Amino acid sequence: MTALLERTDAAVRRPYVSRGVGFAGISAAMVAILVAAGAPTPLLPIYQHQWGFAPWVLTLAFGIYAFSLLVSILVVGSLSDYVGRRPLMIGALGVDLVAMLMFLYAPNVGWVIAARVVQGVATGAASAALSAAVVELAPERFKKLGAQMTSMAPLGGLAIGALFAGLLAEFATNAAFEVWFVLALVMAAGTVFAVFTPETATRKPGAVKSLNPRISLPVQVRRLYWTTVPGIVGGFSTMTLFMGLVPALLVAVFGVRSPIVGSLLAFVALGASTVASAFSSGIKAPTLRFAGMSAMVAGGVLFVGSIGATSLPLLWAAAVVGGTGIGASFAGTTRGLVPEVSPHERAGLFTAIFFVGYLAMGTSAIVAGVFIGIAGATATAVGFGLFNAIVALVGVIATVRLNRK
């Protein structure tokens, strides 16, 4: 009887999918959450036309998402190191499903902003747990791919989300409803899949204590981490530039009102980031960070030049060069830091990385919204581009000094 109970208990605890299938499915779920995060970019101007709110509300809706994500990361970012990856993944995907339904039935911009808050909470809860799970689920022969996915998925997901929603915004009759309906189905499927994914982390005491807002950064990587911070800040601020500010800039400076153009610019920037991350596996992490931040400096200069010359080709070049820099810098950051920490420290490390990134994203979006009302979209965009170039340049200098030592 005892043996039968033990076999039954083992069957209940046995995962329903293999680790390889789990790796593929959770990687897809990580991309899907970021697809949903990128989808509002081309839809917000449609909401503005439909409901008639002020331009600064666009950047508020973008910035408040980043801040709610930031709070979520601080509170539950390390929780999966204590309770396991699977509970956090199931919960985060379920909460994101709620956000999709709020978007789907939103009657006004207040509901959209509330949905962005819920979406931020879900993405924050998912970021560290999904990133750690993808690394741990990757089969031995694909371990390098697992590390690559942690830098590729956020960038690729945002790019796909902006393009997907932009195409529907351009050609569909009821774009917002169709976008959120599809994404609600995807989140529902992801939540169900996470239930049948094998657990990769061992539970340990301290779960309640881990909810105290803090950053748990392993001692052995602190020096390296601080040299990567300018690249993280510059990269996430550049994403804010193309996803939150460029749509307003296209109207104010270039006279372009089609939502698909802003979506394509965001897609090109983030797509170039994804390509840079995917095809740079043979490059050493320090070299990759140096090249990435140098490209971000060049991208910022090209961006400012495009405004001064009123040149759309220069703006497209800024998207390609700056986007490539984001991907290379972020890939160099994760590939340099992740191998230096133990498995039970990975969620804490990713929390520290994403904390700085989303703090930069939220702050820059809110500041841009304030300055658009004061100085206009053109002056705000010029200042934004210069800021990104200067921050990335600081990162280049810090990387060179660390390498010399």
pLDDT at site 7: 41
> What's the confidence (pLDDT) of residue 3?
45
Cα separation, 118 vs 194, in Å, equals 20
Low-confidence ranges of the chain (pLDDT < 50): 1-12
Torsional sign, CA 351, 209, 65, 103: positive
Instruction: Return the pLDDT at 13.
Output: 53
C-alpha–C-alpha distance, residues 218 and 358, integer Å: 20
Q: Are 276 and 327 in contact (CB under 8 A)?
A: yes
Domains in the chain: ranges and CATH = 16-203+218-404 (1.20.1250.20)
**The pLDDT of residue 46:** 81
> Cα dihedral sign for 238, 240, 246, 249?
negative
Model pLDDT, residue 35: 92
Residue 289's nearest CA partner among 235, 236, 238, 222 is 235
Determine the pLDDT at residue 232: 93
* 331 touches 292 (CB < 8 A): yes
- Gyration radius from the chain CA atoms: 21
